[in-house]
Structure 1
């Protein structure tokens, strides 16, 4: 009887701990989401309502806020520009970084260790160090005020290559690659048909990170773009905030919401791939 009572008491303690843990997690989630909710709420309110005090209830001024900011900057064009740059940058980063990481794992060649060391050194160099040289190169190639210098450098992402390579060392099946070679498949076909599916959790993980970084990129578009028709969302938000004489607070919140909401959507759509990648890595370990 005492043993049964102890078991029952232990079960009650475990249940209480789980309930307490879930309550804490729910509270933390609410605290984390509260700023985003207030941002979305203020995006629907007028400037006067926002200045008078905060509210948890949405307003009905979102259309007016959009008209006000659209009169000053072209939000729709900036959204398209950000989407084009971020979309193509993410595709290039994911494919070519996965191809490079696949080459490090699937092949044995002379100097592989030296090349990987150089890759690690490149990861330690801040991107701001090369801005002046990069701008001069783009100017020499007549690529200033175009999207090309914001997209093409994504082909070589040392951080993405390193992450996918570390994942590939445990997830990539050498036996499947050798079997495909015996069957006469070309190397690119093996990579596209076998390598990419095996590396998809790591690719999606870094794809989300790369998309968010490109979407929020402010410094490089500021330096390279001078045509307002080619501005990205971070640049038009800066333009809205720069005019202190004609500042609409509701419009500012709406512009920030337009910039943040797509990132949240992308993350929620593909976050399960991050979990799958962690689980797969744990199973391989």
Structure 2
């Protein structure tokens, strides 16, 4: 039997598996089966802890419910940082991902701040399918239009709307995620600016659908709102699952995300019982 831990950041939930001593060789089909909320454990992403090598404490691999691999996940990074801090007794942790290294600090109250790095604003880095002004994409669907885009280790497009409650996120999200402008698909955020230091946000995540919270999406929303002149460099981003503190630091251009983590339960599973 394989031990696992079910964790979440503001309801964005993960099955965390430890592959540091031996690889589990998770296939896309098996990851998707584990993520299934009726036939598996159920989660927004499968998180595997792997050896990192020099310069980091752990490598974090992120698999979506459709079996695809994600480059970054802010809420999962906080969860993993809290686990490694509990193991090592150190509050400073470096988590390696396929998108780069993320440094994190675990605070005495249990919250975690992650340095998500600098946003990538060039159209090639998002990436987009053609040369485009990332501040105003030529994109519209139903009641939303002209999002701003950036990469936070994964592609994000943020639509700014006057009334978030009036937006049919579940209908628009899958259409926009797979728009031809996004060759690697995109996370689609719908943001309402309540004040220069407060945003409401719902995110349709590529490969996962609508989640209760998206950490990298909250970072992208603040970055794009500031670029549009709608918000300052520091704001509280209210998501369906709770609130994150986001700062786009002026000194080095890095984005800092602070929020809670929680363990829902621990258990064991028979990996061989899931389709390979």
Q: The TM-score by the shorter chain falls in which range? A: under 0.3
Task: Using structure 1 for the length normalisation, give the TM-score.
Answer: 0.23
As a proportion of its length, which structure holds more helix?
1
Higher relative contact order (CA 8 A, sep 6+): 1
Q: What TM-score results when the alignment is normalised by the length of structure 2?
A: 0.24
